[in-house]
Amino acid sequence: MKASIVVLPGDGIGPEVTREALRVLKAVAQKKGHELRFTERLMGGCSIDAHGVALTDEVLKECQASDAVLLGAVGGPKWDDPKAKVRPEQGLLGLRKGLGVFANLRPVRVHEQLLDSSPIKPDRLRGVDILVIRELTGGLYFGQPKGRDRKDGHERAFDTLEYSDFEVQRVVELAFRLAKARKKKVTSVDKANVLESSRLWRQIAADVGGRNPDVALDHMLVDTAAMRLVTSPATMDVVVTENMFGDILTDEASVLAGSMGMLPSASIGEKGPGLYEPIHGSAPDIAGKGIANPVGTVLSSAMMLRHSLGLTAEAKVIEDAVDRAITEGCRTRDLGGALTTTQMTDEILKRLS
């Protein structure tokens, strides 16, 4: 097949890890007879430096016209002034909105050989295989009004947590569809004892659950979910939740795998290109040192093959190669090893079948 992929290396270690993922994608494409065309563009802090905005209209249009978008990471101390009118994260939010992606998929699977890399006790990690689905387009990050003013002589800041029924329904329905190919269990996370938006969320989740009796539905408050993720994560399968809760819980869940550098993500919508990126940030403290873990980005590229290009077998080739590399002792520094970014990718490439 032929496909067009826009690559947004971004900032910090982003260019380093995307470069390695492209090596793997090109190798798999060559082995399987596919033609993948990669176009590299600026987004994030590097775009602010070059164009004054985190995401230009031209780059967004190219992304919208592509088959998929692969992103490294954005941000860094250089652009980290909270008062700045232009910030790297604006590019990411604008890209998600422009692509119409509403669900962020974050798989969290713990390798048996990495049980000792996590601060969580190994006996609690065995069998952990979770898919967290985070709603991407609603909630506090997008609700209006938001801003600052003065009230009763004091400065006030405010945000609005807002959800419409269709936003909740489509992401919960996706969770149920994906659960049917797994353990047939969905945990819907909310704060329905306090928030009206969560009461709407729970109502809709219950309605969708009623139409899918073959999938078990469990409602869970977010504070309980945060505790369960570290005390009994193996009891969870598909977890679906709103934007901010998902943002926090997925970073917490990364501890289970031993390193944020291990975990991929996919942001998808009803149609159009998906957005694929590792869950880690730009890690400016190690940028340019050649020691970043490329696995999260490599696995994100596998998710891209599966969800946007329909190349399931090719995605599994990459995932199996990563599994074998980890099983056979290949480790970057974040996992207690000594391999460089490029050397880790070399080991994955050796194991492509």
Q: Which residues are catalytic?
A: 141, 191, 223, 247, 251
Nearest Cα neighbor of 98 from 136, 133, 41 is: 136
Q: Residue 252 and residue 186: Cα distance in Å, rounded?
A: 19
* Contact present, 244 and 195 (Cβ < 8 Å): no
Q: What's the one-letter identity of residue 63?
A: C
Backbone angles phi, psi at 269, to 5 degrees: -130, -165
What's the half-sphere exposure (Cβ side, CA atoms, 13 Å) at 186? Answer: 29
Q: Residue 267 and residue 304: Cα distance in Å, rounded?
A: 9
Beta bridge partners of 267: 104, 275
Cα 164 to the center of its chain, rounded Å: 23
For the chain, the residue count is 353
Q: What's the one-letter identity of residue 268?
A: I
DSSP 32-88: HT-EEEEEE---SHHHHHHHSSSS-HHHHHHHHHSSEEEEEE---GGG--TT-SS-H
List b or e across 206-227, with b for residues whose CB sees 16 or more CB atoms inside 10 angstroms: eebbeebeebebbbbbbeebbe
Q: Residue 221 and residue 244: Cα distance in Å, rounded?
A: 14
Nearest Cα neighbor of 251 from 106, 109, 143 is: 106
